[in-house]
Amino acid sequence: MLIPCPVCGLRDAGEFTTGGDAGIIRPAFDDADEAAWAAAIYDRANRRGAHEEYWHHAHGCRHWLIVARDTQTHAVSGARLAGAWAGYQGNTAEAD
C-alpha cells in the first residue's frame, strides 16, 4: 500500500504507523472523565469502506497525516497534513 505524503511524496505504508480513525471526537486533553476517554480509545466501530484515518510518517518527515482509505480494498485516495501543519502546501503527490 502506498501513501501520498504531502511532504515526502508517495511512500510505502511500512514507513508509517497508524493512529486510528480520524472521525472520532476525542475528549479535551485536560478532561479527566475516564469514561469519555475509555469510549474514545476502546469503543470503536470496525467500519468497512471509505473513511479517514490518522497516520504518522514515523520513518520519514514525522508529520501526522489524515489519510483517506478504503478499509475493504486498502485503496488510498489521498492524504493531507493534520494539526498545526495542515495548511502547508508541500509535495502534492497523488496515490496510484
Q: Answer yes or no: is 94 within a domain.
A: no
Q: Answer yes or no: is 40 within a domain.
A: yes
Q: Which domain, by its residues, includes 20?
A: 2-25+34-85
Give yes or no for a contact between 7 and 91, defined as CB atoms under 8 angstroms apart.
yes
Q: Answer yes or no: is 96 within a domain.
A: no
Strands (E), the chain: 2-5, 9-12, 17-21, 50-56, 64-70, 76-81
Q: Answer yes or no: is 93 within a domain.
A: no
Report the domain count for the chain.
Answer: 1
- Summarize pLDDT for 27-74 with one digit per residue, the tens: 888 888 899 888 888 887 777 899 999 999 999 999 999 999 999 999
Q: Answer yes or no: is 69 within a domain.
A: yes
Q: Exposure of 76 by Cβ count < 10 A (0-12 exposed, 13-18 middle, 19+ buried)?
A: buried
Q: Answer yes or no: is 12 within a domain.
A: yes
Q: Which cell numbers hold the place of 64?
A: 501526522
Q: Which cell numbers hold the place of 65?
A: 497525516
49 secondary structure, DSSP code: S
| Spatial strand order in the sheet of 76-81 | 17-21, 50-56, 64-70, 76-81
Domain holding 45: CATH number? 3.30.2270.10
Q: Answer yes or no: is 72 within a domain.
A: yes
- Summarize pLDDT for 9-35 with one digit per residue, the tens: 999 999 999 998 898 888 888 888 899
Q: Answer yes or no: is 91 within a domain.
A: no
Rounded to whole angstroms, how far apart are CA atoms 53 and 64?
A: 10
